[in-house]
Structure 1
Amino acid sequence: MTDDQNWKFLLQFLPRDWEQKAKELGALTRQRKITSAELLLRILLIHLADGCSMRETVIRARESGLADISDVALFKRLKASSEWLRWISVHLVEQVHGIVKKPDWLEGFNVRVVDGSIITEPGSTGSDWRLHYSIELFGLSCDYFRITDQTVGETFCNFPINKGDLVIGDRGYGSIRGINHVIDNEGHFLVRIRNKAFKLITERNEEFILLDHFRKLEYGEIGDYEVLYNYSNNQYNKIRLCAIRKSPENAERSRKVAINEMKKKQRQLHPDTIELYEYVFVITSVTGDVLSAGEIMSLYRMRWQVELAFKRLKTILGLGHLPKTDLESSKAWLHGKMLVALLTTAIVDKGRFFSPWGYPSPQVI
């Protein structure tokens, strides 16, 4: 394919009205030099997808005959495009996964997904940064980010928590210090945990052995257990542990990945740890009278449905120059990176299955 053919192919995956929204959301208020939403997006993607600096982006745009603008002008265009880029991302998720609308049973919660990524800026003097970011699950808006050096690890403590927040994290966020931070600020958490990340006990002060309970689960059955953990100085907090058995295919796939990773590190997994890969298990502070076990696992599944996009986002975040001094431009950069990740997911994972010719047909009335 030629570059123009590749570009036309990519445009097939964008939601209806994406060009009109550029004007409505303030991305294209002036059409001097950049005369259309299509041209604006094409130039922004050189910066966002290829990881070029602003200066390199405008040079490429000029040499390819797209537009002759300054890097300062492009920076302003990116900043103004933040909400437009977010809008396209939301509709890409809706198009691929159909999960954007918040269900009624989550009314009252501000559902946030948190993650972190190492960013190595290009060049011989490039620095390593860790970007900690929070994205609203229903709306895909970046509501907070923090830039630290790479020694600051992933924890809920990196984020401000407000009453009504329900933060979702992967295994790296399953620490006592982190979940205490959420509870102390009147928020709620939903997080996957590692085996023996911390000790769970029953109300009879007996250790809660995961496999003793999980082995009793049938396929499709969700285990819902009230457990305690040591909050501080032998003061115990009550939380819930929810678990479901994976399909045999998914379980085998998870075991193989884990075993291969340990082989690379020249380490061995304990047999109990290997068996636990047959289950998905999470802990949460949300009580059973508020959300059922089925709703808890459904919410985690919603997060998982965009997991590939988040994984690609972590890779794509490593490409480029992170704005570190301007809050709004940094948010626009993150929204743009999310768009690239979701667009990649749509093309790679869905595109070839839409039709015999490998991309979705234009929508018709």
Structure 2
Amino acid sequence: MIHFQQLLQVLPSNIEQMAINCNAFQRARKIKSPLELFKLLMLYCGLDLSLRACAGKFTETYSAISDEAVKKRLISCADWIKSLLKETLTTDHNHTEGDLKFIAVDGSTVQEPGATQTSYRLHLGIDLMDLTLTDAVVTTDKVGEKLQHYQLREGYVFVADRGYSRVQTIMPTVDQGADVIVRYTPNSMPLYTFNSNNQKLKIDWHQQLISRSEKNQVIECYMILGDKRIKGYVHAIAKNTKVAENERREMMTFAKKNGRKVRAQTLYLTNWMLVFTTIPPQVLSTLQVQNIYKARWQIELYIKRLKSLLNIDLLRAKKDGKLAEVYLLGKLLYAVLVEKIYKQHYFNHGVSLLDKNRNLSPWRLIQDLNDQIKYSLLAEYPSFEANLASSIKSMSERPRKRKLQRFTDDISMLFRRHQSV
């Protein structure tokens, strides 16, 4: 069984001093220490208790506090959580110079209660070897997906879907020493070759691929931005015939609904999976690039676990408020804590490492650990009879026009008469 102390052990040792430095904890009043504040934060972000339920839980163990007071204390924690999250992720992912570290990245959307459109966007990266979080950034819906959200270092290789296939995001990434493996779409990122006179020629991918007979091809090319150019390689991998046919059918159906026609050249390209990389084929072959790109699916599964097991998409606060940011950052911090304990418990058994044969998904193990951590947090709030009345008061509804349902006096009288007979 997991205990709360084990949770603290995977956090930075100076967690209390960090709370003071970030102005999350300034003076002891109802909440006596940064650790009490951290536990309250985990009730709200990790266990998904409402502000009123958090107030009731705290009051039941310590002293009376209102939900508004809880809200004010939590709002002050934003910078503290960011610092904890950054330090926890940094210390957990050291990189050996000279090695390649493959990071799968993707974005996910979160909606505020009652919203039909995106409220916030999460930008997440995982290490493809051990499937643990390396990067976590929260932005508004106005900020799109780009590689600049992540730690860009020499030796890091970012594996991303076609949403990142843009010169404006890849060029700065390569400038900082990192490399990319990205699903390529010709319309979003034109690539070029140079003739003997050093004149640039835009690559016609239909002509380029149809003129070759090889099943898998590597085409050397350049991306250009202003006067700058960077060499890259497009690996063209022949798709299964049935898969290509299904994709063509879907494309034509979609075009018909929108009153458009699909060009023959576009239909031909459905026969190929195009993957762009800045790593030479002497280092990574086409088959290796294909296998690494396929492993990008693990970031999709990671996001699905965050939503299904940890409810990260059930935003409990209104958009553009500090509390919403605190909730999302706190939820990510909670996810990292669950993950670190998961590593301590199971990695010696070879669970989740992609360089070994696997017979178990992390899903059930993380679900079990999540339940244990929830119980350990609740165990930190024992109930004291003397505080029960105050706890009930903290959780009670505020005065409002619409009252909670009750029987009228005449019906209540009927019940009392019936009971006395």
Query: What is the TM-score with the length of structure 1 in the denominator?
Result: 0.60
Which residue in 2 is equivalent to 1:356? none
Equivalent in the alignment of 2:219? 225
Pairs within 5 Å for 1:275-290: 275-290=268-283
Quote how far apart the aligned CAs of 1:140 are.
Answer: 1.9
Alpha-carbon offset, residue 288 of structure 1: 2.3
1:244 counterpart letter in structure 2 = I
* Separation (CA, whole Å) in 1 of partners of 2:100 and 2:167: 22
Aligned partners of 1:200 and 1:228 also within 8 Å: yes
- Is 2:305–2:363's contact at 8 Å kept on the other side of the alignment? no
1:214 maps onto 2:209 in alignment: yes
Question: Secondary structure at 1:160's aligned position in 2?
Answer: coil
Distance 1:268 1:160, change over 3 A: farther
Native 8 Å contact 1:309 1:342 kept in 2 = no
Tell me how far 1:124 sits from its aligned partner: 7.1
1:302-341 equivalent positions in 2, closer than 5 A? 302-304=295-297, 306=298, 309=301, 312=304, 319-321=313-315, 324-325=325-326, 329-333=331-335
Cα deviations across residues 180-233 of structure 1 (Å, max 9, x unaligned)? 1211111001101212222222232333221223335668x3211111121x32
Letter in 2 for 1:168: V
Contact 2:109/2:118 (CA < 8 Å) preserved in 1?
Answer: no
Structure 1 303/124 Cα, relative in aligned 2: closer, same or farther at 3 Å?
Answer: closer
Residues in 1 aligned to 2:305 and 2:262: alpha-carbon distance in whole angstroms: 29
Map of 2:245 onto structure 1: 252
SS at match of 1:287: coil
Q: Tell me: CA distance 1:329–1:151, structure 2 relative to 1, closer, same or farther (3 Å).
A: closer
Distance 1:24 1:151, change over 3 A: closer
1:122 is aligned with what amino acid?
P
Cα distance 1:202–1:319, how it changes in 2: closer, same or farther (>3 A)?
Answer: same
Tell me if the contact between 1:111 and 1:138 (Cα under 8 Å) persists in the aligned partners. yes
CA 1:286/1:69 → structure 2, altered by over 3 Å: closer, same or farther?
Answer: farther
Q: Which blocks of at least 5 consecutive residues in structure 1 are unaligned?
A: 1-18, 30-43, 63-67, 84-105, 345-365
Aligned to 1:53: 48
Query: How many correspondences in the alignment?
Result: 274
List aligned pairs for 1:88-237, cutoff 5 A.
108-123=99-114, 128-204=119-195, 205-215=200-210, 221-230=215-224, 232-237=225-230
Structure 1 or 2, whichever has the larger Rg, is: 2
| C-alpha distance in 2 between matches for 1:196 and 1:123 | 36
Deviation at 1:58, TM superposition (A): 7.1
Please report the RMSD computed on the Cα atoms of aligned residues, expressed in angstroms: 4.7
Show CA shifts across 1:71-93 (max 9, x none): 99xx9xxx9xx99xxxxxxxxxx
Shift of 1:160: 2.8
Q: Could you tell me whether the CA contact under 8 Å between 1:109 and 1:166 is conserved in 2?
A: yes
Question: For residues 336 and 229 of structure 2, what CA distance do their matches in structure 1 show?
Answer: 39
Q: Could you tell me how far apart the structure 2 residues matched to 1:263 and 1:215 are?
A: 26
Where do residues 5-84 of structure 1 align in structure 2 (5 Å cutoff)? 22=2, 26-27=6-7, 53-55=48-50
Whole-Å Cα distance in 1 between the matches of residues 254 and 336 of structure 2? Answer: 30
Q: For residues 270 and 107 of structure 1, do their structure 2 counterparts lie closer, same or farther at Cα, with a shift above 3 Å needed?
A: farther
**In the alignment, structure 1 residue 269 sits paired with structure 2 residue 262:** yes
Aligned to 2:291: 298
In percent, how many aligned pairs have the same letter?
A: 20
In 1, the alpha carbon distance for the partners of 2:337 and 2:252 equals 35
3-state SS, counterpart of residue 273 of structure 1: helix
SS in 1 for 2:296: helix
Q: Quote the Cα distance in structure 2 between the aligned partners of 1:216 and 1:25.
A: 65
Cα distance in 1 for partners of 2:163, 2:272 equals 17
Unaligned residue ranges in structure 2 (runs of 5+): 10-41, 75-80, 86-96, 317-323, 340-351, 353-360, 365-421
> For the structure 1 residues 53 and 25, does the alpha-carbon distance in structure 2 shift closer, same or farther, using more than 3 Å as the test?
closer
